Amino acid sequence: MRGQFITFEGGEGAGKSTQIKRLAKRLEKDGYDVLITREPGGTSGAEAVRHVVLSGAAKQFGTDMEAVLFAAARADNVEQLIKPALENGTIVLCDRFMDSSRVYQGVSGGVDKEFLLAMERAVTEGARPDLTFIFDLPPEVGLARAADVWAEDGPDRFEQDDLQLQEARRQGFLEIAEEEPDRCIVIDASQSLAKVSKALDAAVDTYFETIQRKPKSKSTPKSTSKRKPKTKAGSK
Ligand code: Z5A
């Protein structure tokens, strides 16, 4: 039975990685196989691309080329990790996915929407997110949180952008949520850690209850035994 593909999106420092790790533990406790991955990254090839784009080394080639690099990393992550896991009935939790390209490269990078969507269709065939959580918070709050955990090399290529651009990205994510309400759920990420956890857990529970009522082919794997996750990659 096919697994479930859940993606987490939003601005910097929104709390995605923290919540993904916590949710994974909870789902494993419930008996699900869980895979954590991230974008750009997840596989060794995609992690190499991550270094190139986040260091800013590809900036000189322009935003179209950066979009191609993100798509290439995504293709590897999808083929090597995400699709096989879904075919195995695993719940895949992915820190950023196609919506980040739509927003960072499209909304704030000015890359042509049709070009982005064509790459998205090509790369995500057979691995479209079933559910996407959009972690929403004012950019200044997220950046202050992210600054606390920046490594000694400081902010990455995208964290250096000004607040106006960060706010445009926030609106870009909210527009996606509005356009695709069946897939996207907005989480108020400015709340305390405990409140965000509670909101996320409630949304996941409701989603799982909903899909269990759908035809069998669409239902989530139901487990009676506690199983260990098969693989983990790209966990922050
Ligand atoms: N990018 C792109 O341009 N195009 C694409 O297609 C893709 C990505 C896929 C990847 O960065 C960059 O690539 C990203 C977009 C671009 N841009 N940037 N910058 P990344 O993977 O290195 O980082 P990130 O995804 O932006 O995540 P992050 O900054 O690490 O934030 P996070 O994962 O959402 O948050 P966190 O690490 O869980 O939490 C940050 C801190 O806040 C940490 O100290 C927590 O303990 C704390 N925290 C978490 N939740 C709370 C609450 N609720 N209250 C208080 N403090 C909290």
Ligand 1 pocket check: which of 51, 96, 162 to mutate, most ligand atoms within 8 Å of Cβ? 96
Q: Say if ligand 1 is within 6 A of residue 15 CB.
A: yes
Task: Provide, rounded to the nearest whole percent, the portion of the chain with pLDDT above 70.
Answer: 88
What single letter denotes the amino acid at residue 61? F
Q: What is the mean pLDDT of the chain?
A: 89
Q: Supply the pLDDT for residue 236.
A: 45
Residue 119, both tokens: 């790459």
pTM for this predicted structure:
0.90
Q: Supply the pLDDT for residue 153.
A: 65
Q: Supply the pLDDT for residue 147.
A: 83
How far apart are the CA of 116 and the centre of ligand 1, in A? 22
Q: Supply the pLDDT for residue 161.
A: 75
How far apart are the CA of 212 and the centre of ligand 1, in A? 31
Measured between alpha carbons, how far is 171 from 174 in angstroms, rounded to an integer?
A: 5
Pairing, β 131-136 against β 34-38: unpaired
Q: Say if ligand 1 is within 6 A of residue 39 CB.
A: yes
Q: Supply the pLDDT for residue 29.
A: 96
Q: Are 202 and 11 in contact (CB under 8 A)?
A: no
Q: Say if ligand 1 is within 6 A of residue 159 CB.
A: yes
Q: Kindly give the parts of the chain with pLDDT less than 50.
A: 213, 215-236
Q: Supply the pLDDT for residue 235.
A: 43
Tokens 């706010």 sit on residue: 167
Q: Supply the pLDDT for residue 216.
A: 46
Sorted by sequence, the CB contacts under 8 Å of residue 104 that are 6+ apart come out as 158, 169
Instruction: Determine the Cα angle at 68 with ends 149 and 231, to 5°.
Output: 55
- Nearest ligand 1 atom, CA 196: 53
Q: Supply the pLDDT for residue 148.
A: 78
The residue whose CA is least distant from atom 9 of ligand 1 is 39
Query: pLDDT tens digits for 182-224?
Result: 999 999 999 999 999 999 999 999 999 999 845 444 444 444 3
Tokens 């042509």 sit on residue: 112
Whose CA is closest to 187, among 201, 167, 175, 171?
Answer: 201
Provide the residue count of the chain.
236
How far apart are the CA of 124 and the centre of ligand 1, in A? 22
Residue 83, both tokens: 């699709």
Q: What is the dihedral of CA 18, 12, 79, 56, to 10 degrees?
A: -130
Measured between alpha carbons, how far is 31 from 25 in angstroms, rounded to an integer?
A: 10
Q: Supply the pLDDT for residue 151.
A: 62
**Which domains, from first to last, does the chain contain?**
4-218 (3.40.50.300)
Sorted by sequence, the CB contacts under 8 Å of residue 65 that are 6+ apart come out as 58
Ligand 1 pocket check: which of 18, 77, 107, 201 to mutate, most ligand atoms within 8 Å of Cβ? 18
Q: Say if ligand 1 is within 6 A of residue 101 CB.
A: yes
Measured between alpha carbons, how far is 190 from 182 in angstroms, rounded to an integer?
A: 23
Q: Say if ligand 1 is within 6 A of residue 169 CB.
A: no
